[in-house]
Each structure stands twice: as C-alpha cells, then as structure tokens.
C-alpha cells in the first residue's frame, strides 16, 4: 500500500535590523521588530491558521486516516509565542488529536551540523526539550535545517538517539535508486532515512498556482493518481514542504486548502494511506545504506549547500560564526542574551540573503537591497556579537580550561545537592532519634553506628572538589559556597554524633 508521509516545516527567521558599522560596540540589539511582527502575523493569518484549521477539520472528518508531521524551529517558536500565540493553540489542538507528529530540528535552524558538532547536538536537544514541554511529545525523528544531510551528520543524529531522519531525495545522491523506499545511513545503520520526493512535493509547494505549468490546474485526483501509479514496491512517498506554501507562496485564492482537504477521501478510494514518519519507519525497513559524501539540502535546483555557502562572503561569515574558540565560549557561558543572539544569528536565511546565485526565481532578500548589503549588515552585527563573546572571558583563558571549570562547577552543584539531601535526611533522623531517645534511652547506642556510616561516606567527597578547585583561578564564588555548605554540615554531623 502506498503511504504518503506528509511533513511541513514551520520556520521564519528573526530578521536583523539595519546595523551600521558605527553601531558596533554601542548597540547590542540586532532585530527588526517591525519586520518580524509584520511577517509572522501575515504568515499566521494567510497560511498557518487557515492551514491548521483545515487539517483539524480533516482529522475530525476522516478519523485517523489523515496523518501529518510538523517541525518548528526554536527561533520561530519564540516569534510565534510573542506575536501569534493563537497558532500555538491550534498546534496544541493538533497535537491532542494524536494524528500529528512533531520532529526535532536544530533550535536555530542554522548550519551548525556543518559548523560545529557540539553545538549541533546541544541545540537539537534544546529544541526537542522545548517541543516536549509545549506539545508533550518527545521527537523520535529528526530533520535538519533545509534538510541538510551527509553521512557524518547522519552518524551524529544516530548518536543522539533518533531513529529516523528526513533527507532530500536528490538525484545526485540516489542515482538509479528510487526515493520511495526507506534507506539507512551509510555510517550508522541505526538511522533510517525518509526521502523527499521533490517532484511530487514541488507540484504542490512550488507549481500549484503556476498557470504556465502543463499540468495546471492540479486536482487532488490527478495528483493522487501519480502517487497511486508508482511502480509496485515503491511504497513511501515523502511529501515535504514549508507550511507557508499553503496560503502564502500558493495563495489561498488558488484553492490549495481545498486541494488538501480532498486528499484523504480520494486517497482511501485509491488505496493510498497517510502516515507519520514514525509509523512509516515502524512498518518499513531500510532497503540499503545510502552514501552521501557531500551535503545535500532542499534548496534550489542544485540541492546542495551552494545557496548558503556558495561564495566567498558566505564562507567568510560562516567561518567567523563557527570559529571553534567562539563556539566553545558561547556554549560555556551562562549569559542568556548571548545564547539568544547566537540562536538568531545562526539561522540559514542570514546566509541565503548573501547568495550571488541566479536561481531563476528571483531571490528574496528580506530587508536587504543586495547580497553585498546583506553581507555588510550581517558582518557588522557579527562583529559586535563576537566582541561581546570575547569580552566574556579574558583572552588568556583557553576553551578547554573554561570547559573543565564549568564541568567542575556543575559537578560541585551536584555534590552540594547530594549533600543537602543527606543533611536533611540526617536531620530528620536526628529528630526521630531525639524523640526515640526520650522514649527509649537504651536503644540509642544501637542506632549510633548507623548514623556514623553515611558521615564517613560523605567525607572523601567533601575533600575531593576542594582539591580540584585549588589550582584554578576561576569560580571562586562556587568554591566558597561549597566551603560554606561543608561548614553547615559539620554542626549537623556533630549533632548526629551527640
């Protein structure tokens, strides 16, 4: 049975404002609030809300026959939370139907999978946590920003524990193979790949309203007949696009939502079903590993990274942004504004605005006039941001050193927690002991060795962190707090002895 795996990306970058070089060092707010509000409300009104309402209706009408998957980048979640919370409401309702799966993706919708693995892992986890928190689902399947994929990214994703990943079904990686099967990652067979059928996806997302297209107007039965007519055995059809394609790129007036609405019923008649990525992976086993040496994406006709890292300016910005030294410091720091700016600056659109490629469709450049304007503005902002990151810690401190200090602090925190627990336990016991002492005096000596045992265990632990911390200059505050806690503890143990 043919299975359509329908997936929508919800993403809108946070637009940067006009930032001149003389603002560097004086202005640390980089965002164009007006543009952000305008775009996200327009998207919500024209596309997100009508599309989600239609899907809710479809699920109600068709029972469990209609399934769909979403992925939402963390930065656009922030935008939606701020300017269009009603979209979250609808997403919550969709999540409650049980017919919707949420996928994980890097929080920033950035290029960290190519730039820095540590950061990639950390922001993906952050994103998954946020999805869990908002929609009560832990994502099992991963999709990368712009569907970027190569073998190494696949291996990292498998290590994070995801069982599946969405990948562009580009001709140059598949060769003679069909995108309608499940493949596995060449470096780690634990990860299965669902491939995007770009022809059938773009029929809806790109060409639906194109009157010059030979198949115009596209009707649901025609499109489904293409799916149903696929050769025997080719069962999985990955239909992936931006949610904005419904209603924004293809206007509501083109009846694209009616097209969508008609799909489940007709599909049933034609013997085509819908499934979420997880269901697809549960039912279909990978047929073979798929080797992808150079990164693929779903951008442009080339389906590679050329629209993001194609020219010298883009690579310069990329290298500056993912400089190892910088990323280490950002990951180590606890400054929330820096963390937030870092997420927002990474978004792939910042790089796409700098493209000099002619993709034949005209480039959307946000607030910028030209690729040079985009580069200049981005580099000015990046200059200010990097300066702030460098100012966080003195230059002389190495990243490794920073990391070890931070892990040490983290370890100390854990130890303090353990000790706090212990103290409260001992106190409780002491209370109990006091009350029993009053009642049964002779029982006390029997209890005593028991109370001493945990105290002995605690002692070596108490000393160890203090020794480690001595040679380092950083983290004096934490050290003293440990000492204080230790002091606090002494009277407690003493009383226990009594």
Partner 1 sequence: MFGWEFPPKIYGGLAVASYGITKGLSLQGDVDTTFCMPKPTGQEENFLKIVNMSQVPVVWRDVWYDNIKDRFIGHTAEDYYRFRDHLYADFNYLQGLDDMGCIGFAGGYPGNLHEEINNFSIIAGVLARSEQFDLIHAHDWLTYPAGVHAKMVSGKPLCIHVHATDFDRSRGKVNPTVYSIEKNGMDHADCIMCVSELTRQTVINQYHQDPRKCVAMHNAVYPLDEEIQAIVPNKKKGEKVVTYLGRITMQKGPEYFLEAAKRVLERSRNIRFCFAGSGDMMNAMIELAASYGIADRCHFPGFQRGKQVYECYKNSDVFVMPSVSEPFGIAPLEAMQCGCPSIISKQSGCGEILRNVIKVDYWDIDAMADAIYSICQYDALHDYLAEEGIKEVDQITWEKVGLRIRECYNQLTGRGWFDNEEYLNAVRNI
Of 242 and 373, nearer to partner 1 (C-beta) is: 373
Smallest gap from Cβ 15 to partner 1, in A, equals: 18
Of 369 and 439, nearer to partner 1 (C-beta) is: 369
Of 59 and 374, nearer to partner 1 (C-beta) is: 374
Of 8 and 19, nearer to partner 1 (C-beta) is: 19
Report d(CA 173, CA 307) in Å as an integer. Answer: 18
Which residues make beta-bridge pairs with 205? none
Report d(CA 23, CA 21) in Å as an integer. Answer: 5
Of 299 and 314, nearer to partner 1 (C-beta) is: 314
Expressed in angstroms, the distance from the first to the final Cα of the chain is: 76
Find the binder of partner 1 among 284, 356, 404, 481 (CB under 8 A).
Answer: 356
Return the exposure string of 286-295: e unless at least 16 CB atoms fall within 10 Å of the residue's CB, then b. Answer: beebbebeeb
Smallest gap from Cβ 117 to partner 1, in A, equals: 24
Return the exposure string of 268-282: e unless at least 16 CB atoms fall within 10 Å of the residue's CB, then b. Answer: eeeebbbbbbbbbbe
Smallest gap from Cβ 22 to partner 1, in A, equals: 6
Smallest gap from Cβ 29 to partner 1, in A, equals: 18
Q: Is residue 152 involved in binding partner 1 (CB under 8 A)?
A: no
Smallest gap from Cβ 115 to partner 1, in A, equals: 16
Q: Is residue 404 involved in binding partner 1 (CB under 8 A)?
A: no
Name the segment binding partner 1 (CB under 8 A); options: 21-29, 112-120, 424-432, 481-489. Answer: 21-29
Binding mask 364-383 for partner 1 (x = CB under 8 A): -----xx-xx-xxx-xx---
Q: Is residue 116 involved in binding partner 1 (CB under 8 A)?
A: no
Name the segment binding partner 1 (CB under 8 A); options: 15-23, 97-105, 330-338, 480-488. Answer: 15-23
Smallest gap from Cβ 394 to partner 1, in A, equals: 25
* Of 321, 365, 325, residue with least CA distance to 343: 321
Which residues ranging from 297 to 336 are in contact with partner 1 (CB under 8 A)? 311-313, 315-317
Of 367 and 430, nearer to partner 1 (C-beta) is: 367
Smallest gap from Cβ 355 to partner 1, in A, equals: 12
Of 273 and 311, nearer to partner 1 (C-beta) is: 311
Count the alpha carbons within 13 Å of 311 in the hemisphere toward its beta carbon.
Answer: 13
Of 316 and 415, nearer to partner 1 (C-beta) is: 316
Q: How many residues bind partner 1 (CB under 8 A)?
A: 20
Which residues ranging from 209 to 238 are in contact with partner 1 (CB under 8 A)? none
Of 4 and 313, nearer to partner 1 (C-beta) is: 313
List of residues contacting partner 1 (CB under 8 A): 20-22, 24, 311-313, 315-317, 356, 369-370, 372-373, 375-377, 379-380
């Amino acid at each position: 049975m043919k299975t359509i795996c329908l997936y929508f990306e919800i993403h809108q970058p946070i637009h940067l404002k006009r930032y001149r070089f003389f603002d560097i060092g004086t202005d640390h707010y980089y965002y164009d609030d007006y543009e952000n509000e305008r775009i996200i409300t327009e998207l919500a009104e024209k596309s997100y809300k009508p599309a989600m309402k239609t899907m809710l209706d479809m699920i109600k009408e068709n029972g469990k026959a209609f399934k769909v998957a979403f992925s939402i980048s963390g930065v656009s979640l922030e935008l939606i939370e701020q300017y269009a919370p009603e979209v979250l409401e609808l997403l919550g309702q969709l999540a409650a139907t049980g017919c919707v799966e949420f996928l994980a993706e890097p929080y920033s919708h950035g290029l960290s999978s190519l730039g820095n693995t540590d950061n990639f892992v950390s922001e993906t986890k952050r994103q998954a946590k946020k999805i869990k928190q908002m929609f009560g689902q832990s994502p099992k399947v991963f999709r990368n920003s712009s569907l970027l994929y190569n073998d190494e990214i696949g291996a990292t994703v498998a290590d994070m524990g995801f069982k599946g990943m969405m990948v562009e079904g580009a001709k140059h990686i598949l060769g003679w193979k069909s995108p309608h099967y499940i493949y596995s990652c060449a470096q780690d067979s634990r990860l299965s790949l669902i491939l995007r059928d770009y022809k059938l996806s773009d029929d809806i997302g790109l060409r639906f309203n194109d009157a010059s297209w030979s198949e115009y107007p596209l009707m649901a039965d025609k499109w489904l007949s293409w799916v149903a007519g696929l050769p025997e055995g080719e069962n999985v059809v990955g239909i992936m696009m931006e949610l904005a394609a419904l209603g924004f790129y293809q206007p509501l007036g083109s009846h694209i939502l009616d097209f969508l609405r008609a799909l489940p019923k007709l599909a049933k008649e034609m013997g085509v079903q819908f499934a979420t990525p997880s269901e697809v992976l549960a039912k279909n086993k990978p047929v073979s590993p798929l080797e992808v040496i150079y990164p693929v994406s779903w951008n442009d006709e080339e389906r590679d990274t050329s629209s993001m890292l194609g020219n010298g300016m883009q690579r310069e910005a990329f290298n500056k942004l993912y400089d190892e030294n910088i990323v280490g410091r950002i990951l180590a720091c606890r400054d929330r504004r820096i963390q937030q700016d870092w997420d927002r600056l990474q978004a792939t659109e910042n790089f796409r605005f700098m493209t000099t490629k002619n993709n034949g469709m005209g480039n959307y450049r946000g607030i910028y006039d030209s690729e040079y304007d985009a580069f200049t503005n981005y580099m000015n902002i990046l200059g200010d941001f990097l300066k702030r990151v460098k100012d966080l810690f003195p230059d002389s401190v190495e990243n490794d050193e920073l990391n070890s200090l931070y892990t040490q602090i983290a370890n100390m925190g854990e130890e303090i927690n353990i000790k706090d627990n212990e103290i409260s336990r001992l106190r409780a016991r002491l209370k109990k002991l006091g009350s029993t002492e009053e009642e049964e005096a002779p029982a006390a000596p029997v209890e005593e060795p028991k109370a001493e045992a945990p105290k002995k265990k605690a002692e070596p632990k108490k000393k160890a962190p203090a020794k480690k911390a001595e040679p380092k200059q950083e983290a004096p505050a934490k050290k003293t707090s440990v000492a204080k806690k230790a002091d606090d503890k002494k009277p407690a143990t003493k009383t226990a002895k009594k």
